[in-house]
Every structure is written in structure tokens, then in C-alpha cells.
Structure 1
């Protein structure tokens, strides 16, 4: 059954708890979403608070995918570029699909829903994201139409002696 997507959902305790649980589950399954396992929802809460502040200020928007039970199963945070010369593109952050739902095409669905949402913003010409090298996720984004436009070798230190490339990818919205 496909996910149901909602842009800018009402933020409340259930949504917060759902996003935090998703974030912890993705992180603990080895997902490259800003943390290294093991993590708990409490570990992630300060980062959620930063995202929430950006949403409250209108700098970031949240796209949530709900599964058939109504649980948070996927997210993408879409951040406006505030630099006056770069407002024609947005950043995509914290793209997640719950491990229990991976392999069902939901990642492709999330990326398509994100692209559709951004196209609806008006005046946006591209979506930019970064991803952690060594995970293979860059191949997934490429399958969604994103092209690698830059790479910073060893920019992400996962652990001592385990540095990964920071890969910059872009989807042009022609």
C-alpha cells in the first residue's frame, strides 16, 4: 500500500514522537541521517528542535509520508536558501524511509512527492542535497534524477579512521 504524503503537517506531540522514532530507527539501521548508532529519540531531540525552529520561522518545510496505519514512515525537510543570490534553489535534508518500509519503492515515492511539492513553491529551479559517501545512497539519488555536482573527500568523520566523502547532488527542475 502506498504512503500518503502531507506537506507542512500540523506539528504536535504525535508527529514529533513519530519523526523522532523514525529518525532513531533509521540511524540505528545504519542510515546516514546525521547520527551514528546507537542513538535514542532523546539524542535526536536537539536536532529536531533546530528543524522545528526553522519550520516555525518559515525557513524549512516538512514533507511527511504516513503508512497505512497512519504512522510516520518517511520524511524530507526542504529548506529555503536564504542567500540573496541563491534563492532559486532549495536544500533537501534528513530524507528518511523507515527500515521496515524499505524495498517497497517508498524512497522513490518520497523523492517524487518532494519534487512535486517543490515545483509547487514557484520560482524554484533546483533541489540540492548532500549525502554520505560509502553508503550507496548516491546511486539511489541518481536513480531519482539527481546528478553529482561536487564531492569533498573525507569531510564526514563517522568514527576515528572512518572518514567519508560529502557528496553534493542536484536535481534541476526544468
Structure 2
């Protein structure tokens, strides 16, 4: 009985064990295809999502690119307009600088001519009363004039008798 019982137990145990092995083998066989099924499923899902999204995304991206290209071309046009204006402004500034330099040189020439004319006017105006700020300057000029006129004796002294120095003529004024 014990051998029968042992045999039954063995069969049960081996049967269970055999069934367990079969289940494990089946699980491992099923898990391998299941893993490949999962990766296939993921790739199929990704393909399906891309197929569904691409018709929406592609036109949207195309529209966005078109808008960007339009904006870039508008900016490029504006830049070329600004470039032309900037060139015109540079030309105008350059012309103004040239005219300013010419005007300054003309002003300088005119100032020099004005100074020369003032000096000539001073030389041409012998009757002009000179005011000396320094008495030694007045003495120097009168002594110079006296030395010049010492050689020229004036025969008619009656009209100039009130003056302490001899009369000055135009040549004497030019030498001063």
C-alpha cells in the first residue's frame, strides 16, 4: 500500500512537476513572443500616432515655415530700404561736411581780408585822431616824427605856431 501510495504521490508530484515544467516552458515561450508583441505593439502605436498626427503637423509646420519666410522677406525688403536711406543720409552728411569745410575756409579768407582792409583804412586815414593809452608810446611817435621833419624846415610857421611839433604829412603817417 505504501508503494501504491508512493506511486500515486510520485505520479502526482511528477505530474504536477511535469505540468509545472510544461507551464514554465509555455510561459517562457509565450513571454518571448509576448515581448516581441509588445515591442511590435509599441512600434505600431508609434507608427499609428505618427500617421494620425502627421497630417495635422505637416501642414501646420508648412504654414509656420511659410509665415517665417514671409516675415524674413519683409524684413529683408525693409533692410534694403533702410540701407538705401542710410546711404542717402551718409551722402548728405558728407556733402554738408564738405560745404562746412569750404565755408570755414572762405570765412577764414574773408577774416584775413577784413583785417588787411582795416589796416589799410588805418593807413589811409591820416586825419584820424589817435588815442594813446601809454604816454611813452605817444612820445616815441612824436619824437620819431620830429626827427623826420628836422631836415624839412617849413617856411610857413605862422599857421603851426601853436603846435609844439611840426606838422605831419601823409608820408610821415605811413612810416609810423
After TM superposition, is the score higher than 0.5? no
Which TM-score applies when normalising by structure 2?
0.20
Which TM-score applies when normalising by structure 1?
0.20
**Greater strand content:** 1
Higher relative contact order (CA 8 A, sep 6+): 1
Q: Which one has a bigger Cα radius of gyration?
A: 2
**Greater helix content:** 2
